[in-house]
Structure 1
Amino acid sequence: MTTALQPPPPSHPVLRLRLAPRADLPRPIDGAWWPRSYDLLAELPGLLAGLPREWGHVTSVTVNGATWSAAPGRILVSNQVVRLRRNPSVSAPQTVVLLAPGQGRWDLLVVPPDTSEQAAEPLMAAAAGTTAGE
């Protein structure tokens, strides 16, 4: 009997993020993020590290307070302080808002972590204004 060697799991899971192409006109949604959990302290550093450099330093993140697990008002990400805000409104339960002073605001659709890949792919593509598989 032979056993196949399995590669070790990645130390940092691949970021599941799809951004809309840069445009001159503002968009209501700038892309989609598919986190692996609703643990903001675990998920946020990977998201912020994977954003384009031209977005600058995100200093404030707003999430739906009813959806995400409890988190402190500020966290340190890559030696930078990021303010966490919890919106109690149900008007945008599946979005995360990122603010970078002098650079802009980006609203991302949050695909629920328990969504299947088959269901998540079209949601992410639609939020980014692309077709599934691009």
Structure 2
Amino acid sequence: MTAPIERAASRVLAPALPARLSLTPETALACQLDGAWWPRSRDLEAELPALADALDGPWGRMTHVTVNPTRWPVIPHKVPVAGHTVHVGWFTEQDPDKLILLSGTVGRWDLLVIPPETQPAAAARLMAAATIPGSVLTARALMAAEAAIGGGMRDARSRVEDWESEGGACMSPFGDLPGRRSTWR
């Protein structure tokens, strides 16, 4: 008979990976987001310690975090991190793609949360876009733009691949050609 391993104990034994985080450079320009965070999972209890570790030094001790529950299957009330506790709250009115961090010394930071399953190229674009000083783009706008760009690229590529594999050499995948009628749409 095997003894069950407690979840918290397994986290202590596993080496902590650094947070994938990009912050907006310090500037006098106000912006919608203070950076972007790309967690490795949707487990706040597992992900918040690395984020706190990355931010506690330069930013001050993280005390509270708020999220929208649509992106996080389990939301713990408290998460122990590096000698203190981070209180976690949730609001359905909050942008689902944003994490709000509170610190007693610095105040509030808003981070774009890039879904863990995001491809590296898309995550890099989102991290770069979220850290532009003075940007007025919200987390929702950035995610919608990425979906349009990333999805549009995949759609165009798949249409061309379909066209080529189905013998479409005699017609254009881009609609009617001058003086020629196409049935492809």
User: For 1:113, what is the secondary structure of its paired residue?
Assistant: coil
What is aligned with 1:100? 103
State the TM-score, normalized to the length of structure 1.
0.82
Q: Which has the larger radius of gyration?
A: 2
Q: 1:18 matched to which residue of 2?
A: 22
Equivalent position of 1:58 in the other structure? 62
Overall identity of the aligned pairs, in %: 43
When you count helix as a share of all residues, which structure comes out higher? 2
Do structure 1's residue 34 and structure 2's residue 45 form an aligned pair? Answer: no
Quick one: distance in 1 between partners of 2:21 and 2:121?
15
Instruction: Name the CA distance, whole Å, in 1 between partners of 2:129 and 2:102.
Output: 22
Task: Give the letter aligned to residue 130 of structure 2.
Answer: A
Q: Is the 1:32–1:124 Cα contact (8 Å) retained in structure 2?
A: yes
Q: Show structure 2 runs of 5+ residues with no match.
A: 1-13, 134-185
Count of residues in Structure 1 that have an aligned counterpart in Structure 2: 120
RMSD over aligned Cα atoms: 1.8
State whether residues 100 and 111 of structure 2, in contact with CA within 8 Å, keep that contact through their aligned partners in structure 1: yes
**Which amino acid in 2 is paired with 1:98?**
L
Structure 1 residues 1-134: aligned runs within 5 Å? 11-51=15-55, 53-89=57-93, 91-129=94-132
Contact 1:55 1:104 (8 Å CA) reproduced: no
CA distance in 2: counterparts of 1:46 and 1:14, whole angstroms: 6
**Greater strand content:** 1
SS at match of 1:59: strand
Provide the secondary structure at the position in 1 that maps to 2:62. coil
Q: Which has the higher contact order (CA 8 A, sep 6+)?
A: 1
